């Protein structure tokens, strides 16, 4: 089981979130939290849903309206999905690099140019020291 496993009936989820079950039904209708449905169409909430319900309550207490809360949750969910996709792509890239040693990789240079590197090497860092002395006014 993980945080997305639908475990809780609406009464239990409402109690865990500190809300009334009718509030959860309204949030479901508005699309703020979308629990899974059983074969009999009853709602089942996951721990992630309960955390999201608590976040809705917190944002509402800070004065945000439901549309603002919906937008924030939408952006947070999109952000989470993008982070997951980046991790997936990083893993695929690492697997590809390990499967084909000697392939080239690329990095960005100091001026934004593309720098070609051999696998396992790093870019050269600049070690210059710049001393700033203010002009003395006479």
pLDDT in tens, 24-81: 999 999 999 999 999 999 999 999 999 999 999 999 999 999 999 999 999 998 999 9
Query: pTM value?
Result: 0.62
Sketch out the chain's domains with CATH numbers.
10-97 (1.10.1660.10)
Q: What was the pLDDT predicted at 48?
A: 93
DSSP state of 129: -
Residue-wise pLDDT for 94-108, tens only, equals 888 777 766 566 777
CB-facing half-sphere around the CA of 36: CA atoms within 13 A? 11
pLDDT band of residue 127 (cuts 50, 70, 90) is low
Half-sphere exposure of 109 (CA within 13 A, CB side): 6
**pLDDT for position 35:** 94
Q: How far apart are CA 89 and CA 73, in angstroms?
A: 24
């Amino acid at each position: 089981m993980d945080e997305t496993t639908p475990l809780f009936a609406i009464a239990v989820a409402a109690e865990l979130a500190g809300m009334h079950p009718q509030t959860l039904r309204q949030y479901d209708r508005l699309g703020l939290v979308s629990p899974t449905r059983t074969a009999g169409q009853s709602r089942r909430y996951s721990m992630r849903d309960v955390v999201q319900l608590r976040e809705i309550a917190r944002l509402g207490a800070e004065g945000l309206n439901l549309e603002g809360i919906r937008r924030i949750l939408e952006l947070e969910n999109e952000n989470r999905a993008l982070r997951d996709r980046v991790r997936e792509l990083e893993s695929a890239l690492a697997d590809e690099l390990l499967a084909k040693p000697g392939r080239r990789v690329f990095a960005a240079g100091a001026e934004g140019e593309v720098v070609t590197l051999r696998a396992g090497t790093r870019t050269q860092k600049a070690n210059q020291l710049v001393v700033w002395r203010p002009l003395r006014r006479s």
